[in-house]
Amino acid sequence: MQDPLFNGHPALQICRRISSGEAKLPELPEVSLKIRRLLNQPDWSMRELQPLIESDPALASYLLKISESPLYGNRGRAPSLKQIITQTGERALNQLVTAFALRHLFISTNPHIQQALKRRWQHAIQRAAIACVLGQQCYGFINDELLLAALLEDIGSLLIIRETAHIPNLGAAELESLCNNHSAEVGVMLTIHWEMPESLRNVVRQRQHWSYDPEGAIGLPGLVIVASRLLASAHGEAFALPNLHLLPAFQKLPWRSPQPKRAEDWLEQHLEQVNALLSSLQGPALPPLLHERESVL
């Protein structure tokens, strides 16, 4: 791992220790692990699962909100927790529970560090909402899988921010550079530690790899890359990034309808849907679109 800016810096040593597997990595909450273990059993029962979920009121509330969100398009009377469990299925429920667990995994008593963690997590939620809405416009994607994939994409940055909190004189610009350069490798170690499937590890591995050119179908990594590029446009931060249409992943999206001409076109058309989903995910709404210069679109 080479990084001239941090050569010999304690922050880089932390990243190296994480990436080499030497550092102690955070564990998923016990309730999440129990639910995962139970759902992995072919003979799991509602009698065991429902009390487990209800033991964490915040998790139960999250699942109820998600079930009523545009992610599922549910209308009318809100379903019961039992109905949600029955209708969602083992794999999707596992992914939703894991997505919820990530939300509370990285916290700090330092207000400046907590603010940095909050900002990264808010962007992760916004990326996830964009990815889910984008996935609904294409063939072959599953909402729950997309949600978790997009939330995991930059998970390495959260650990880097938390673990470097004690290092004095580590400025915001340096921390940003450290995250941008090492989030992927740190994040891959986390997904391995949490026994995530290879499909999700590869999303993290290809983080912001704009030239990523998947063989055959675009897959999860490609769609999340496109979602990240759209998020950059939403925040007016895409001036140094490739044109959306130049991304190999974008060119392989299996659209259900004609593809947009510009990032702004898609965002303008679907901003209301994205923000409706963000409301259910308890994330901040995307700002009114900041048009970028034509020369970089």
CA distances from 267 to 34, 146, 215, 240, 280 (A): 39, 18, 27, 19, 19
- Count of structural domains within the chain: 2
Q: Which long-range contacts (CB under 8 A, 24 or more apart) does 51-56 make?
A: 53/81, 53/85, 53/97, 54/81, 55/31, 56/29, 56/31
Give the pLDDT of residue 133: 93
* Rounded CA separation 245/249 (Å): 9
Please tell me the pTM assigned to this model: 0.89
Q: Tell me the per-residue pLDDT of 232-252, one tens digit each, with 9 for 90 and over.
A: 989 888 888 998 888 999 988
Q: Tell me the per-residue pLDDT of 22-78, one tens digit each, with 9 for 90 and over.
A: 888 899 999 999 998 998 888 888 889 999 999 999 999 988 888 888 777 655 566
Q: Which of 104, 121, 155 lies at the terminal end of a domain, its last residue?
A: 104
Contact 84, 64 (CB under 8 A): yes
Q: Tell me the per-residue pLDDT of 215-231, one tens digit each, with 9 for 90 and over.
A: 888 899 999 999 999 99
CB-based burial of residue 294 (10 Å sphere; 0-12 exposed, 13-18 middle, 19+ buried)?
A: exposed
Who's near 283: CB < 8 A, 6+ residues apart? 122, 125, 126, 128, 129
Residue 199 sits in a domain of what CATH number? 1.10.3210.10
Give the pLDDT of residue 294: 40
* Rounded CA separation 8/4 (Å): 9
Q: Confidence band (pLDDT; 50, 70, 90) for 6? A: low
Claim to verify: residue 44 and residue 171 sit in the same structural domain: no
Claim to verify: residue 69 and residue 162 sit in the same structural domain: no
Q: Confidence band (pLDDT; 50, 70, 90) for 208? A: very high
- Name the average pLDDT for the chain: 85
Give the pLDDT of residue 163: 86
Residue 14 DSSP SS3: helix
Q: Confidence band (pLDDT; 50, 70, 90) for 1? A: very low
Give the pLDDT of residue 297: 38
Contact 30, 24 (CB under 8 A): no
Q: Tell me the per-residue pLDDT of 263-297, one tens digit each, with 9 for 90 and over.
A: 778 888 889 999 999 988 888 999 876 544 343 43
Claim to verify: residue 56 and residue 76 sit in the same structural domain: yes
Residue 195 DSSP SS3: coil
* Rounded CA separation 5/113 (Å): 21
Question: What domain range includes position 288?
Answer: 4-23+107-296
